[in-house]
Amino acid sequence: MLDESYYRKTDEIIAHYGREAKALIPIMQDVQAEYRYLPGELLAYIAKQIGITETKAYSVATFYENFSFEAKGKYVIKVCDGTACHVRHSTPVLEALWKELGLSKKKHTTDDMMFTVETVSCLGACGLAPTMMVNEQVYPAMTPEKALALIAELRGKG
Ligand code: FES
């Protein structure tokens, strides 16, 4: 259950874009930017407020890969597993992160909601392989050691 503040914030976002069906995507984008994911309850709420069905809102949200229904950590780490990165040993980087953070292919986010680790198929920086991204920043030429040092640094920042 989400507390009242989520609905108040969503109301503000809806008021900004207007209560109309065409505002769905920008509203969802702003809600996701606020919470780092799109809670299902809010998607249903938005649909009702702008007069579309929940099914329609859900199908639009699932069409765009960028929307996530899963709560994410403060630091979202995307390890590239595209071909260029894979041949330059991205897998040991991913495995080192999983081991350090107690994560796996099935468990993506630490219980303290600090870190989410995902894989992506190309970060568009193949010349810098193997790459990874933490929130909006790209890190080139990763190694397991560099990845673990970065985790230690981020933990220090809190
Ligand atoms: S394959 Fe990793 S950045 Fe392109």
By CB neighbour count within 10 A (0-12 exposed, 13-18 middle, 19+ buried), where does 28 fall?
buried
Q: Are residues 40 and 88 in the same domain?
A: no
Same domain, 79 and 109: yes
Q: Are residues 51 and 96 in the same domain?
A: no
Domain that holds residue 103: 75-157
CB 131 within 8 A of CB 82: no
State whether the beta carbon of 79 lies less than 6 angstroms from ligand 1.
no
pLDDT band at 157 (very low <50, low <70, confident <90, very high): confident
Nearest atom (ligand 1) to Cα of 82: 1
pLDDT category of residue 138 using cuts at 50, 70 and 90: very high
CA 147 to chain centre: 18
What is the tens place of the pLDDT at every residue in 93-126?
999 999 999 999 999 999 999 999 999 999 999 9
Handedness of CA 144, 141, 103, 133 (dihedral sign): positive
- Backbone phi, then psi, for 116, in 5-degree steps? -120, 135
One domain for residues 93 and 133: yes
Is residue 142 within 6 Å of ligand 1 at its C-beta? no
Number of H helices, E strands in the chain: 7, 4
Which of 63, 90, 107 is the last residue before a domain boundary?
Answer: 63
Rounded to whole angstroms, how far apart are CA atoms 154 and 131?
17
Q: How confident is the model over 149-156, as a mean pLDDT?
A: 96
In the DSSP assignment, the letter for residue 21 is: G
| Reported confidence tier of residue 1, pLDDT bands at 50, 70, 90 | confident
The DSSP secondary structure of 22-79, one letter per residue, reads GGHHHHHHHHHHHHSS--HHHHHHHHHHHT--HHHHHHHHHHSTT---S---SEEEEE
Asked if residue 58 and residue 87 are part of one domain, the reply reads: no
pLDDT score, position 128: 97
Q: Are residues 129 and 152 in the same domain?
A: yes
- Whether residue 68 lies inside any domain: the answer is no
Single pTM value for the model:
0.80
Ligand 1 geometric centre to CA of 42 (Å): 34
| 78 beta partners | 118, 133
| Whether the CB of 96 sits within 6 Å of ligand 1 | no
How many structural domains comprise the chain? Answer: 2
pLDDT tens-digit map of 2-58: 999 999 999 999 999 999 999 999 999 999 999 989 999 999 999 999 999 999 999
Residue 101 lies in a domain: yes
Q: What is the CATH number of the domain that holds 90?
A: 3.40.30.10
Report if residue 70 sits inside a domain.
no
What tokens appear for 9 in the block?
Answer: 């914030």
Decide if pLDDT at 158 tops 80.
Answer: no
Q: Of 151, 155, 127, whose CA–CA distance to 140 is shortest? A: 127
Confidence of residue 66 (pLDDT cuts 50, 70, 90): confident
Same domain, 138 and 92: yes
